[in-house]
Amino acid sequence: MPLTEYRHRPLAFFARYIARHAVAHAVILLAVLGAVAFSVSTQYGVKFLVDSLSQEPGQGKSPWLAFTVLVSFVAADNLLWRVASWVASYAFVNVTGDLRSELFRHLTGHSPGYFADRLPGVLTSRITATSNAVFQIENMFVWNVLPPCVATVGAISFLTMVSVKMAAVLIVIAAVVMLAMFHIAAAGRPLHHKFANKAAAVDGEMVDVIGNMALVRAFGGTAREHSRFDMTVAEEMTARRRSLQYLEKLRLTHALVVVVMTLVLLAWAITLWEEKQATAGDVVLVCTLGLSVLSATRDLAVALVDVTQHMARLTEALATLLSPHDMHDHPEASALVPNGARVTFENVTFGYPGSGGKLVFNGFNAEIEPGQRVGLVGRSGSGKSTLVGLMQRFYRVQGGRILIDGHDIAKATETSLRNAIAIVPQDTALLNRTLMENIRYGRPDATDEEVWEAATAARCRSFIENLPEGLETVVGDRGVKLSGGQRQRIAIARAFLKNAPLLILDEATSALDSDSEEAIRQALESLMAGRTVITIAHRLSTLRNFDRILVLEGGKMIEDGAPEALMRSRGVYYDLVTRELGRLSEQAA
Ligand SMILES: Nc1ncnc2c1ncn2[C@@H]1O[C@H](COP(=O)(O)OP(=O)(O)OP(=O)(O)O)[C@@H](O)[C@H]1O
C-alpha cells in the first residue's frame, strides 16, 4: 500500500511496521504476558507462605513448598522480562530505522513547490518526531499499558478466591476509574496537539535563522531574532505547561481515588478476618492485590495519557509528511531519448498553485533548435525562472505542452528527463561533502579520472590542487569554504560530468573579480560546446556570442532574434543593454 494511504491512519501506519517484524513482536508479547502472569502469581505465593507460617510447624502445608513456588515464580518473572526487553532492543529499533528511511524517501519525492511552502526544519523535525513517537508508543504499550491490564485481570481472578463480592466490587471500580481516566485523557488531546505544533515551530524557526545567519548579521538582526525566538519559545512553553498540568490534574484525581479505595478494601478484609471468613494470608492477598490493581489503573491511565500525547504528535506529523506527491510519472510515461535536444513550448499556460488563478504564462509558444544557445532576458518577475522550472517539470503546466525532441515531458519518465538536462544553478548548491562527491553528483558511476577530467575542463584543477586535501576537501555547509567563483566552477564540473544534451544555466547575479569571471567564462564556453543551451542572463554582456535572445515581459515573448539584430531594431533588448552599459560606465568612472 502506498505510504500516503496512512496519512490519516496512524494505527494502520504502526501495523505496517510491526508486521515487518511480526515474529519478534510476537515473542515480546508472549514474554510480557508470561512475566506479568508470574508476577501476579507471586502475590498468591506470598498468601500461600503466610498461611503455611500461621500453622503450627508440621501441620498443614510445608512452608518450603511455598518457598519453592515463590522462588520459581520470581525467577520466571524476571527472566521473561529480560527476554522481552532484549528482543525489543532489536525489533523497536528496527521499526524506527525502517520508518525514517521510508519517510525520507517519500519526503524527497515531493516537488520543489512543496518545499517552497514549508520550512526545512519543520519537515526534518517531523520525521524525528514521528520516529520518536512510534518508539515511545511501542515501549509504553509493552512496558506500561499491557502489564497493568494483564495484572488487573490476574489479580481479580485471585481475589475471587477470597471473596467473590470483593472481586466484583474491584472490577466495577477498576472499570469506572479506567473509563473516567481514559475519557479525561482523550479530552486533553487538543492541548497536546497544540504543544506538538508549537514545538515543531520552534525547530523550524531555529533552522531558518541559523541557515540564514549571514543575512541576519548583515542586517543587524541578531537582537530582533532573539526577541522573535523568545516569543516563539514562550508560546511553546505555555502550550507545554498546559499539556503537562492537564496530566497532573489527571494524576491527582487518580491518587485520591486510590487512597480511598485502599482504605475501604483493607478495612473490609480485616472485618472478614475478624468474622473468621478470611485467613491472615487472605488479608495479605487482598492488601497486595488491591494495591496492585489500583496502582495498575494509575500506571495505565498515565501511560494512556502519554500514549495519547505521542499519538497526537504522530497524527500531526503524518498529516504533513504523507501528503501525496503532486508530481509523479504519467501512467503512460516512457523514457525520453534525446536527439540533439530541440525544445518546444506549445501553447503553455501556467500559474503557480495557490496564487489565486493568476497566470504567469498564457498560451506561450517558442521553439529552440538543437545546439542553439539561447539567452532568456527580461525584467525581474517576467517569468524566466518559471519557464526554466517548467522545462524541468518542477510544476505541472495547466495547458499546452513542453516537448524535448518531440517527446512531451509530462509523459517522460522522471529519470530520463533528469538525465537529459544538466543545470548550473544561480546560487550554487553544494552538499556538505567532499569536492569529489560534489562533482561526482553529476554522474555517480564516474571514475576518479573522469572526475579529474571534468574538474580540469571546468578550470577547477589549479585551485583544487592548492587545497591541502585536494578533491577530498569537505566544502562546508552549502560550500562556504570555497569562494563564489570556485563554487560556480565546481557546479560547472558537475554539469560536465553529467554530459547531458540540454544545458540550463542560471547566471549568478553577484559580480566576481575579472580573473574569476574569465575562468568561469572559459569553463562555460567548453561546457556549452555541442549542447542546446538555455541561459537566464542577468548580465547581458555575457550573451554577445549567443545565437538567439528571447525577451520576456509579463510571461509573453516580446522580442526574439540574434543579439545584433535585436540591437539594430532598438527595442526592449536594446534599451536593457544600453542601460546596463550606462551603469557599467558610471561604476567605472
Ligand atoms: N513559488 C512561487 N509561487 C507563486 N508565485 C511565484 C513563485 N515563483 C515566482 N512566482 C511569480 O511568478 C512570476 C514570474 O516569476 P519568475 O521568478 O519566473 O520571474 P523571473 O523573470 O525569473 O524573475 P527574476 O529575474 O527576478 O528571477 C512573478 O510574478 C513571481 O511573483
Q: Quick count: other Cβ atoms within 10 Å of Cβ 239?
A: 20
CA separation for the pair 19, 554 (Å, rounded)? 54
pLDDT tens, residue by residue, 446-457: 999 999 999 998
Whether 154 is in a domain gets the answer: yes
- Ligand 1, atom 25, lies closest to the CA of 380
Q: Are 38 and 77 in contact (CB under 8 A)?
A: yes
Does 515 reside within a domain?
A: no
Whether 533 contacts 452, CB under 8 Å:
no
Residues in the chain, pLDDT under 50:
none
CA distances from residue 142 to 42, 129, 211 in whole angstroms, order as listed: 21, 20, 40
Ligand 1 centre distance from Cα of residue 583 (Å) = 25
Which of 444, 476, 499 is the last residue before a domain boundary?
Answer: 499
| Conformational region of residue 132, where left means phi above 0, alpha means psi within -120 to 50, and beta covers everything else | alpha
- Kindly state whether residue 308 falls inside one of the protein's structural domains: yes
Task: Pinpoint the alpha helices (H) of 6-54.
Answer: 10-20, 22-54
Ligand 1 midpoint to CA 384 (Å):
8
The DSSP output letter for 535 is E
Phi, psi (rounded to 5 degrees) for 481: -80, 0
525 part of a folded domain: no
What does the block give as the cell for 573? 533588448
Whether 325 contacts 24, CB under 8 Å:
no
Euclidean distance between CA atoms 486 and 132, whole angstroms: 40
* 437 and 565, same domain (yes or no): no
548 beta partners: 374
Q: Is residue 331 part of a domain?
A: no
What's the gap in Å between 385 CA and the centre of ligand 1? 7
In a shared domain, residues 558 and 460? no
Please check whether residues 293 and 203 belong to one and the same domain: yes
Ligand 1 centroid–CA 376 distance in Å is 14
The H or E element that residue 402 is part of is strand 399-404
* Res 317: pLDDT: 85
Q: Is 75 helix (H, G, I), strand (E, B) or coil?
A: helix
Mutational pocket test of ligand 1: of 360, 390, 427, the residue with most ligand atoms within 8 Å of the beta carbon: 360
Same-domain check for residues 466 and 379: no
Cα 387 to middle of ligand 1, angstroms:
10
Phi, psi of 571 (to 5 degrees): -100, -145
**312 and 375, same domain (yes or no):** no
Domain assignment of residue 523, yes or no: no
Q: Are 318 and 8 in contact (CB under 8 A)?
A: yes
Say which CATH number the domain at 444 has: 3.40.50.300
- Alpha carbon 514 to its chain's center: 43
Please indicate, yes or no, whether residues 272 and 399 belong to a single structural domain of this protein. no
3-state secondary structure 470-496: HHHCECCHHHCCCCHHHHHHHHHHHHH
* Per-residue pLDDT, 97: 93
For residue 332, is it within any domain?
Answer: no
Do both 195 and 136 map to the same domain? yes
**412 and 450 both lie in a single domain:** no
Q: Dihedrals φ, ψ of 560, to 5°? A: -155, 120
Question: What pLDDT, on a 0 to 100 scale, did the predictor assign at position 515?
Answer: 67
What does the radius of gyration of the chain's CA atoms come to, in whole angstroms? Answer: 35
Would residue 518 count as lying in a domain?
A: no
Residue-number span of the structural domain to which 466 is assigned:
426-499
* Atom of ligand 1 minimally distant from the CA of 355: 4
167 C-alpha to ligand 1 centroid (Å): 73
Question: Can you say how many angstroms the Cα of residue 209 is from the centroid of all Cα atoms in its chain?
Answer: 19
Total Cβ atoms within 10 A of residue 197: 16
The CATH number covering residue 181 comes to 1.20.1560.10
Give the closest residue (by CA) to ligand 1 atom 7.
352
Q: What span, in angstroms and rounded, lies between the C-alpha atoms of 512 and 484?
A: 8
* Helix, strand, coil % over all residues of the chain, rounded to 5: 65, 10, 25
User: Three-class SS string for 279-316?
Assistant: CHHHHHHHHHHHHHHHHHHHHHHHHHHHHHHHHHHHHH
Q: Strand pairing partners for 367?
A: 344
* Tens digits of residue pLDDT in 229-245: 999 999 999 999 998 88
Strands 502-506 and 532-536, by their bridges, are parallel
Q: How many residues does the chain have?
A: 589
Short-list 525, 417, 434, CA closest to 471: 434
- Top mutation candidate among 118, 345, 352 for ligand 1, by most atoms within 8 Å of CB: 352
Q: Considering 450, 475, 499, which residue would you say is the last residue of a domain?
A: 499
By CB atoms closer than 10 A (0-12, 13-18, 19+), residue 271 is exposed
CA 223, 224, 225, 231 dihedral sign is positive
Count of structural domains, the chain: 3
pLDDT computed for residue 513 by the predictor: 64
Q: Where are the beta strands (DSSP E) in 56-142?
A: none
Do 464 and 405 lie in a common domain?
Answer: no
- According to DSSP, the residues that pair with 368 across neighbouring strands are 343
By alpha-carbon position, which residue is closest to atom 31 of ligand 1? Answer: 381
Q: Please give the Cα distance from 458 to 91 (Å, whole number).
A: 49
Instruction: Please list every protein residue whose CB sits less than 6 Å from any atom of ligand 1.
Output: 116, 352, 355, 360, 378, 380-386
Residues 492, 536, single domain; the answer is no
C-alpha 172 chain-centroid distance:
44
